[in-house]
């Protein structure tokens, strides 16, 4: 069963609707106990990383997420802010991230309009089970003022151009994430979510 | 490279999409969820849904219809109409919307922009404006005035001053809806759209008046808009001929506008 983490600042309903469309069983997760019963985890997100971390901490989900994702290595998919919070530090505010992967979160320069809002091209760096079946360089829907810069270049699964080239998909072991909204990227996003439901958390 | 967006606009009454002209005389088009599914299949980039009578009737937004649309549409979905406070925003987001559009309420209580952006992020707050060309006056240096309540009430606010304030308060996008052009199919008001796009650094959305591919292209180039709201051209019964999303995108691409490529069902 996929657990979709539900917290006040999140957009779990959109992810649940997308999974329902695909016929995939999923449950909303609000507590550490509920998290223990899932074998795959999606952390959706909108808004601000600081508010997201605060919201997760309030629900006492931070240590439980670490146990399931880092220790138990269940397949994990972060979406949008759910990508940004898995890193260590953010320019957005004083709150640290979950720190599962080394890297920082940076703000786009004001040379383009911020936030970036719209469909943009994702250049895939290597084949991965999550992107199986996609045509090369798919267009996905982004809404972000910040982006992650992973320290490990191998964690970068896809890149996108906006002011600069930034990491738009992350994959490192059982941890994967999309900066774009997979649940709002049309049939391409649904393909990624469908792949996640079958993914065993390895690269091949 | 970021593509420009085509956004289908639904003016919803009792769960059905309607089409107005200059904010009046709404005629029925189709059930909102049914039209949304059709446009999703046609690869619309985004949908915005206004519950246009919620505010005047002082009732909560039609959450059942919002949810029904959200269940079937996997592109971004903005909802507005009758949103009064953070609790209303929260309910709309939980019903499956990504973005909240605020308009008249933001003029009455600008702090709702700041509060919404703080709670849900500025990308979540779309400031929609109804603007009319009234001529330059000392108190209206842009020559455009902001109206509210379905274009019925003048506010005395200068359009450019208002959108700058809105962006400063945290609005992540600005919709420029021309009262003069709304539903006319005669083209966007490019002057005010461009002036707003020059005045703020958040994405600006042209709205009101698109009747041809050339109008949309003009809004996205000369108008400086990041996205174009369309409705009449897609489904107004008043027009002799409606044009589908795919045909519009092909026409826009021919005019040099960078659009999201068509996705084959197989890929």
Nearest CA in chain B to A186: B74
Among the options A80, A92, A140, A167, which is catalytic? A80
The answer to whether residue B31 sits within a structural domain is yes
Give the count of domains, chain B. Answer: 1
Is A140 marked active-site? no
Out of 3.40.50.880, 3.40.190.80, 3.90.230.10, 3.30.420.40, which CATH number does the structure's domain A2-198 have? 3.40.50.880
pLDDT in 10s for each residue of chain B, 267 residues:
899 999 999 999 999 999 887 777 888 999 999 999 999 999 999 999 999 888 788 888 999 999 999 999 999 999 999 899 999 999 999 999 999 999 999 999 999 999 999 888 889 999 999 999 999 999 999 999 999 988 999 999 999 999 999 999 999 999 999 999 988 889 999 999 999 999 999 999 999 999 999 999 999 999 999 999 999 899 988 888 899 999 999 999 999 999 999 998 644
Cβ distance of A181 and B76 shorter than 8 Å: yes
The answer to whether residue B267 sits within a structural domain is no
Cβ distance of A115 and B172 shorter than 8 Å: yes
Q: How far apart are CA B200 and CA B164, in angstroms?
A: 6
Domain with B216 in it: 5-254
Does ipTM top 0.90?
yes
Best residue of A14, A191, A192 to probe chain B, by most B CBs closer than 10 Å: A14
Nearest CA in chain A to B71: A17
A124 touching B (Cβ < 8 Å)? no
B265 CB neighbours in chain A (<8 A) are 187
Cβ distance of A114 and B202 shorter than 8 Å: yes
The answer to whether residue B34 sits within a structural domain is yes
Q: How far apart are CA B69 and CA B34, in angstroms?
A: 8
The domain locations on chain A are: 2-198
Is A181 marked active-site? yes
pLDDT band at A49 (very low <50, low <70, confident <90, very high): confident
Lowest mean pLDDT among A11-20, A136-145, B53-62, B215-224: B53-62
Cβ distance of B2 and A138 shorter than 8 Å: no
Cβ distance of A115 and B4 shorter than 8 Å: no
The answer to whether residue B229 sits within a structural domain is yes
B172 CB neighbours in chain A (<8 A) are 115, 117, 143
Q: What is the 3-state secondary structure (H, E, C) of chain B?
A: CCCEEEEEEEEEECCEEEEEECCEEEEEEEEHHHHHHHHHHCCCCEEEEEECCCCCCCCCCCHHHHHHHHCCCCCCEEEECCCCCHHHHHHHHHCCCCEEEECHHHHHCCHHHHHHHHHHCHHHEEEEEEEEECCCECCECCCEEEEECCCCEEEEEEHHHHHHHHHHHCCCEEEEEECCCCCCCCCCCHHHHHHHHHHCCCCEEEECCCCCHHHHHHHHCCCCCCEEEECHHHHCCCCCCCCCHHHHHHHHHHCCCCECCCCCCCC
B227 CB neighbours in chain A (<8 A) are 117-118
The answer to whether residue B261 sits within a structural domain is no
Cβ distance of B74 and A183 shorter than 8 Å: yes
The answer to whether residue B113 sits within a structural domain is yes
Question: What are residue B235's phi and psi, to 5 degrees?
Answer: -150, 10
pLDDT band at A90 (very low <50, low <70, confident <90, very high): confident
- Per-residue pLDDT at A114: 92
Is A80 marked active-site? yes
The answer to whether residue B259 sits within a structural domain is no
- Per-residue pLDDT at B267: 43
pTM of the shown model: 0.95
- Per-residue pLDDT at A9: 65
Instruction: Please tell me the distance in Å from B166's CA to the nearest CA on chain A.
Output: 14
Cβ distance of B264 and A135 shorter than 8 Å: yes
B238 touching A (Cβ < 8 Å)? no
Q: How far apart are CA A162 and CA A108, in angstroms?
A: 8
Tracing tokens 């009732």 back to the chain, one arrives at B59
CATH number of the domain that B183 lies in? 3.20.20.70
The answer to whether residue B71 sits within a structural domain is yes
């Amino acid at each position: 069963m996929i657990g979709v983490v539900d917290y006040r600042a999140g957009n779990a309903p959109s992810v649940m609707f997308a999974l329902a469309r695909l016929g995939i069983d999923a449950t909303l997760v609000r507590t550490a106990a509920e998290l223990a019963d899932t074998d795959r985890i999606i952390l959706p997100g909108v808004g601000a990383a600081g508010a997201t971390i605060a919201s997760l901490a309030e629900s006492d989900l931070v240590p439980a997420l670490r146990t399931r994702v880092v220790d138990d290595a269940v397949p994990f998919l972060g979406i949008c802010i759910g990508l940004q919070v898995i890193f260590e530090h953010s320019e957005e505010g004083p709150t640290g991230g979950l720190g599962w992967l080394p890297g920082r979160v940076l703000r786009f320069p004001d040379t383009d309009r911020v936030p970036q809002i719209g469909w943009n091209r994702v250049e895939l760096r290597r084949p991965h089970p999550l992107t199986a079946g996609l045509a090369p360089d798919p267009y996905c829907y982004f809404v972000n003022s910040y982006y992650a810069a992973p320290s490990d270049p191998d964690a970068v699964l896809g890149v996108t151009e906006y002011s600069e080239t930034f990491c738009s998909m992350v994959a490192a072991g059982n941890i994967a994430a999309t900066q774009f909204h997979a649940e709002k990227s049309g049939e391409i996003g649904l393909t990624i979510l469908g792949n996640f439901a079958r993914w065993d958390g390895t690269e091949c | 490279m970021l593509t420009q967006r085509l956004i289908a606009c639904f003016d919803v009454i009792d769960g059905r999409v309607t089409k107005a002209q200059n904010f009046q005389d709404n005629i029925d088009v189709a059930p909102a969820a049914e039209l949304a599914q059709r446009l999703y299949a046609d690869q619309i980039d985004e949908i915005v849904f206004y519950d246009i009578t919620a505010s005047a009737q002082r009732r909560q937004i039609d959450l059942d219809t919002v949810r029904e649309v959200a269940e079937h549409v996997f592109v971004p979905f903005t909802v507005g109409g009758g949103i009064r406070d953070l609790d209303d925003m929260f309910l709309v987001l939980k019903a499956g919307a990504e973005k909240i559009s605020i308009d008249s309420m933001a003029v009455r209580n600008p702090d709702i922009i700041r509060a919404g952006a703080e709670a849900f992020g500025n990308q979540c707050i779309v400031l929609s404006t109804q603007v009319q060309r009234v001529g330059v006056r000392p108190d209206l240096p842009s020559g455009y005035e902001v109206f509210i309540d379905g274009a019925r009430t003048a506010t005395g606010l200068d359009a450019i001053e208002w959108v700058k304030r809105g962006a400063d308060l945290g609005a992540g996008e600005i919709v420029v809806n021309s009262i003069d052009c709304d539903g006319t199919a005669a083209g966007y008001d490019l002057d005010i759209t461009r002036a707003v796009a020059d005045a703020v650094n958040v994405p600006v959305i042209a709205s009101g008046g698109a009747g041809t591919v050339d109008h949309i292209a003009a809004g996205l180039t000369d108008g400086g808009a990041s996205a174009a709201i369309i409705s009449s051209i897609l489904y107004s019964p008043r027009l002799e001929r409606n044009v589908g999303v795919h045909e519009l995108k092909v026409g826009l691409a021919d005019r040099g506008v960078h659009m999201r490529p068509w996705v084959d069902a197989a890929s």
